[in-house]
Structure 1
């Protein structure tokens, strides 16, 4: 085997056990990086034969920092060529490791490969279903991946791994640097993993969208220039629907009541999204998400003004 797995998590309980069990026997080394769990995660990982790394709790936790810590454990192991990154709330699908390893072996200029990620309980709540729909991305060469992906160790070492200061969006940012170095990023049709978002409240979904907006702003600040234009279009859409249009309607109404008619652009956009095949509820929440994303953008701006370090925006 030429593949190792790095699993990151905190207080995932039974989900972590399922995650580690799904990887047993499929990788050469299994590393679990724990970010301050207060449950039995560390003990269970030891029982399942994982190499366990416990992050220093005096430093801020980020997924990027945890993944880099896992990579450090693998340094110097000449058997390894690839690493599968997994979040502790995911369960790998049978056959994925071999499929991804084979693809990377056959495509030496590809650094990252991912497959179909599915929500385990999409019908449990509308929030879970929205996440599952978000992950339905067409296969082929893509610009970025999510947190569940297999990567080439040589490529990761070349660009310096993940940016540990990012509270989210570290995978697309890494992919920007990888593509800039001449590497490719691919998504396959193959089933890769189950994910258990466990979102049962509106507030969880809102926080998840808010975090996305934060990463849009940060991504533009880091790589928004040409030729990459990273997250520029996402940020534009967010600010138009979540800030620009509301401000125009509100200020315009002070001049003429007809300005309120501009508010019809929101239902018109929902109709447009519905016409593209989305459910009514999905289209409506996609528009509502722009307000949460805008809040995330403003959070990033405020922290830049105050010169305060970013803090995790967690939804569970």
Structure 2
């Protein structure tokens, strides 16, 4: 079922709830003090600007002073709860249970919401009949090359029906959230891809709106950070295997592995001249990253930073393969990004 094929009764119900307009911001926090001083004021201001909105911070056992900082926020402006040791899905669910809004706005602690965020989100659901909205988070101005390259490749920049929105900037009606059962709490990561998959199964539309904007301050800024975060995200890869759509990243990872093995076979085969074997192995090694970047350029309708993203996607698929090793060997639960 495509994102736009939402039953009329479902569209009417979710649009009606969106028009109710009471919203709960749910903000998971884990050692985010460096960002909270910038993100919290914008969040509180947006909630007060909208009116029928509340803010719930869920601290997952911070040790850097984040929890103490949040306790200093006026209780009339936000609630702070502590939920230690859970997955990110469990933390988000705990915040949803604490709130009372007819809509839930899941925003990460390192994201700055734009002025008019809630008005745009509520209007989008009421206008389109979708059950959820949001947008690819923006890179901060003056960001490192990794941040800007990834953003330029992935930011489509137009409103459209989609199959997935990142849970760091994810706005959904409570009725839809309850209907699909919230986030899966057994997944270490990938809870956003998985809940969007279940929304498709329930015929619930997802609409990306560029005006539901947030700036992501916590992007990887070095290759090491990019590697570690990609490995961490990859630990939840099997949460979206199956369902109504093929899990493209996992499939492409498998293809990359197969081509890598083939390249190694050519290098080891005595009947193939070394120069030709090296050239073939290199081409096979880059085939999946090139295909991925080409696909993203077509979707985004731009080719900027293609070279930088070729490097990043080569690392991406190797990081996913390492995540697979951690899963298979039972070491994934010990990994920290």
Tell whether the structures are fold-level matches, with TM greater than 0.5. yes
Distance 2:209 2:138 in 1: 13
Change over 3 Å in CA distance of 1:29–1:274 after alignment to 2: closer
Equivalent pair of 1:128/1:197 in contact (CA under 8 Å): no
> Looking at both structures, which has the greater relative contact order when contacts are Cα pairs under 8 Å and sequence separation is at least 6?
2
Question: Mean alpha-carbon deviation: is it higher for 44-53 or for 159-168?
Answer: 44-53
Match of 1:73 among 89, 98, 109: 98
**Contact conserved, 1:2 with 1:81, CA < 8 A, in 2?**
yes
Distance 2:88 2:196 in 1: 15
User: Structure 2: any 5+ residue segments left out of the alignment?
Assistant: 1-20, 298-302
Which of 268, 271, 295 is 1:254 aligned to?
268
Instruction: Note if 1:239 corresponds to 2:254.
Output: yes
Give, in angstroms, the shift of residue 23 of structure 1: 1.9
Partner of 2:70: 45
- The answer to which of 286-295 and 166-175 deviates more is 286-295
Q: Specify the SS of the correspondent of 1:119.
A: coil
Distance 1:219 1:116, change over 3 A: closer
> SS at 2:28's partner residue?
strand
Tell me the secondary structure at the aligned position of residue 104 of structure 2.
Answer: strand
The change in CA–CA distance for 1:274 and 1:83 in structure 2 (over 3 A counts) is closer
Greater share of strand? 1
Give the TM-score, by structure 2 length: 0.79
Secondary structure in structure 2 of the residue aligned to 1:244: helix
Change (3 A) 1:270 1:63: closer
Unmatched runs of 5 consecutive residues or more in structure 1:
none
Name the SS of the counterpart of 2:166 in structure 1.
Answer: coil
Q: CA deviation at 1:292?
A: 1.2
CA contact (8 A) 1:91 1:194 kept: yes
Between the aligned partners of 1:210 and 1:120, the Cα distance in structure 2 is: 23
TM-score (norm 1): 0.84
CA contact (8 A) 1:116 1:188 kept: no
Shift of 1:112: 0.9
- Residue 114 of structure 1, CA deviation: 0.5
- CA shift, 1:267, in A, is 5.1
Alignment partners' CA distance in 1, 2:86 and 2:334: 8
C-alpha change, 1:135 and 1:87, in structure 2 (3 Å) is: farther
Shift of 1:45: 1.9
1:55 counterpart residue number = 83
Residue deviations 1:181-223 (CA, integer Å, cap 9, x gap): 1210110122510111253432211012223433333421xxx
Secondary structure class of the residue paired with 1:164: coil
1:300 pairs with 2:327: yes
The residue number in structure 2 matching 1:133 is 152
Matched, 1:30 2:55: yes
Aligned alpha-carbon RMSD (Å):
2.5
Q: What secondary structure is seen at the aligned counterpart in 2 of 1:246?
A: helix
Alpha-carbon spacing, 1:293–1:278, altered in 2? closer, same or farther (3 Å) = farther
Cα shift at 1:135: 4.1
Aligned length: 294
Measure, in 2, the Cα distance between the counterparts of 1:66 and 1:250: 43
Determine if contact 2:134/2:208 at 8 Å carries over to the other structure: yes
- Which residue of 18, 21, 24 maps to 2:38? 18
Equivalent position to 1:190, from 183, 190, 211: 211
CA 1:157/1:102 → structure 2, altered by over 3 Å: closer, same or farther?
Answer: same
Q: Distance in 2 between matches of 1:271 and 1:64?
A: 33
d(CA) in 2 for partners of 1:312, 1:187: 34
Query: Does 2:288 correspond to 1:263?
Result: no
Equivalent position of 1:93 in the other structure: 114
- The residue matched to 1:94 in structure 2 has which SS? coil
Greater CA deviation, 158-167 or 283-292? 283-292
Q: Which segment is superposed worse, 281-290 or 159-168?
A: 281-290
Whether the 8 Å contact between 2:220 and 2:229 is mirrored in structure 1 is no
Aligned pair in 2 of structure 1 residues 262, 212: CA closer, same or farther (>3 Å)?
Answer: farther
For 1:85, what is the secondary structure of its paired residue? Answer: strand
The 3-state SS of whatever aligns with 2:138 is: strand
User: Deviation of residue 54 (structure 1)?
Assistant: 0.4
